């Protein structure tokens, strides 16, 4: 494995995250430099210091490294001693952002008025250089908008697949649904600028901002007042075998935010896919296919296939079979640092098909392999509130998580609650 597996160590050129020690407790009225390990304090020491303020952390407590009188963890140069606490990840700019990319949902006329309002405000009020897709200017509905005509010539344009936006964009604003954010991720296959996503689409699980008071919200972000969720991405590489006597084809290399899906395509036969983890064959998948997803993608296709929902700050990869022909094949979660290898089994009756965040669908032949691991380039998604609140709000509003009618209370406790296990129904009836 190379350094690409340690996405927590990524240094995004657009943002810095202030790190707060997640495992220390500081006396409220004491020296701010004095800190305590809460689990190592005795009761007397806690009482002596009276009031302790627990620093918020999304990390689990660090385990001790001494095991009994003789055992301990062997230290080596590859050991990660400090992990960024997700709760401490906040956006700050080392210089004022000047360029902003505005991406809007396509084929949706309801997004046009907010789009015109936003780009006009960014240009006239914030004096920013605004980039949009060239196809946006070709929209006939915008051509009839008189207010848009005043800023049309001041917009910078690009075309996907032709123009390179790397190092040209300081900030991204998405207007639409989750697919709009996935498209923004696709545009930046390395470092991604901070993304602010407004909910103007269908689902909106990844779009926490409402557009009503966009001026105040965008201003807060431009001033550096925002929490960040670093959404990990998967680096996917297809290694082609190549025809006999011909050199191997160059590999396909893509980063995905949600998932990579390997399925049987149009074939009527079961998929027969071999799965390797860090070079070890762990299982063969017989069914409709396999989903490999990020924690962000665990609430997308994977959850529909029976996977658990994982908070995006958890460093993990979710592996979910699609309709497996086995009662015991359940979804599994593996560490973010492993490398997966997926290939068509030699005795498979058919080839497989692979897609990346629902795009770039292509065939996977016998002898080809798909390598998947966690990328060092996450998507820094700006939070409306914070990392925890945003996620649970999305679960409740978009997926209606754990929604049911509440059980009614009883006016009086039943006599059954006071009965013993030896009482019979007949004896209880007689007593009543």
Q: Where are the domains of the chain?
A: 99-232+380-396, 234-374
How confident is the prediction for the chain on average, in pLDDT?
Answer: 83
CATH superfamily of 99-232+380-396: Probable inorganic polyphosphate/atp-NAD kinase; domain 1 (3.40.50.10330)
DSSP string of 354-401?
Answer: EEETTEEEEEE-TT-EEEEEE-S--EEEEPSS-HHHHHHHHHHHHS-T
**What is the pTM (predicted TM-score) of this model?**
0.80
Query: What would the pLDDT profile of 91-144 be if each residue is shown by its tens digit?
Result: 999 899 999 999 999 888 899 999 999 999 999 999 999 999 998 988 888 888
- H-helix segments, 25-172: 43-49, 112-124, 134-137, 140-143, 146-152
Query: What would the pLDDT profile of 209-241 be if each residue is shown by its tens digit?
Result: 999 999 999 999 999 989 999 999 999 999 998
Per-residue b/e over 85-111, b at no fewer than 16 CB within 10 Å?
bbbbbbbebeeebeebbbbbbeebeeb
CA gap 325, 329 in Å, rounded = 8
Q: Pick 234-374's CATH classification: 2.160.20.10, 3.20.19.10, 3.30.390.10, 2.60.200.30.
A: 2.60.200.30
Candidate list 178, 357, 368, 386, residue with the active-site label = 178
Instruction: Identify the CA nearest to 176 among candidates 102, 255, 246.
Output: 102
Query: What would the pLDDT profile of 194-212 be if each residue is shown by its tens digit?
Result: 999 999 988 889 999 999 9
- When pLDDT is cut at 50, 70 and 90, the band that residue 366 belongs to is very high
**Which residues have a Cβ under 8 Å from the Cβ of 258 and sit 6 or more positions away?**
182, 293, 294, 296, 297, 300, 301, 357, 358
DSSP string of 117-157?
Answer: HHHHHHHHTS--EEEEEHHHHT-HHHHT-HHHHHHHTT-EE
Instruction: Identify the CA nearest to 337 among candidates 234, 252, 230.
Output: 234
Residue 122, pLDDT score? 97
Tokens 């190092």: give the residue.
Answer: 167
139 as an active site residue: the answer is no
């Amino acid at each position: 494995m190379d350094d690409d597996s340690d996405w927590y160590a990524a240094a995004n050129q657009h943002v810095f995250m202030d790190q707060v020690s997640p495992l220390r407790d500081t006396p409220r009225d004491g020296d701010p430099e004095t800190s305590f390990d809460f689990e190592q304090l005795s009761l007397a020491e806690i009482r002596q210091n009276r009031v302790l303020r627990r620093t918020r952390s999304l990390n689990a407590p660090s385990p001790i490294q001494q095991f009994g009188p003789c055992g301990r963890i062997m230290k080596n140069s590859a050991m990660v001693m400090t992990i960024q606490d997700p709760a401490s990840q906040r956006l700050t700019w080392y210089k004022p952002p000047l360029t902003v990319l505005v991406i809007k949902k396509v084929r949706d006329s309801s997004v046009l008025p907010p789009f015109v309002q936003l780009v006009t405000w960014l240009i006239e009020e914030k004096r920013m250089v605004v980039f949009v897709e060239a196809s946006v200017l070709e929209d006939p509905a915008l051509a009839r908008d008189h207010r848009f005509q005043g800023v049309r010539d001041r917009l910078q344009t690009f075309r996907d697949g032709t123009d390179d936006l790397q190092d040209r964009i300081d900030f991204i604003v998405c207007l639409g649904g989750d697919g709009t954010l996935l498209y923004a991720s696709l545009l930046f296959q390395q470092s991604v600028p901070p993304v602010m996503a407004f909910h103007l689409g269908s689902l909106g699980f990844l779009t926490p901002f409402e557009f009503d008071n966009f001026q105040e919200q965008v201003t807060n972000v431009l001033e550096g007042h925002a929490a960040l969720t670093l959404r990990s991405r998967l680096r996917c590489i297809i290694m082609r075998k190549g025809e006999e006597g011909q050199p191997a084809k160059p590999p396909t290399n893509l980063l995905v935010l949600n998932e990579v899906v390997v399925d049987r395509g149009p074939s009527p036969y079961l998929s027969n896919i071999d799965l390797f983890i860090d070079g070890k064959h762990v299982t063969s998948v017989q069914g409709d296919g396999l989903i490999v997803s990020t924690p962000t993608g665990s609430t997308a296709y994977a959850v529909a296939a029976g996977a658990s929902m994982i908070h995006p700050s958890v460093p993990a990869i979710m592996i979910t079979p699609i309709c497996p022909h086995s009662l015991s094949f359940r979804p599994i979660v593996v560490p973010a640092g492993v490398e997966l290898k997926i290939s068509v089994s030699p005795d498979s009756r058919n080839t497989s098909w692979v897609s990346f965040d629902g795009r770039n669908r292509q065939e996977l032949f016998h002898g080809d392999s798909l390598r998947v691991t966690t990328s060092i380039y996450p998507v820094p998604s700006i939070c409306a509130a914070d990392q925890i609140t945003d996620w649970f709000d999305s679960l409740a509003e978009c997926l209606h998580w754990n929604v049911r009618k509440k059980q009614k209370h009883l006016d009086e406790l039943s006599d059954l609650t006071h009965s013993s296990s030896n009482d019979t129904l007949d004896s209880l009836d007689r007593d009543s």
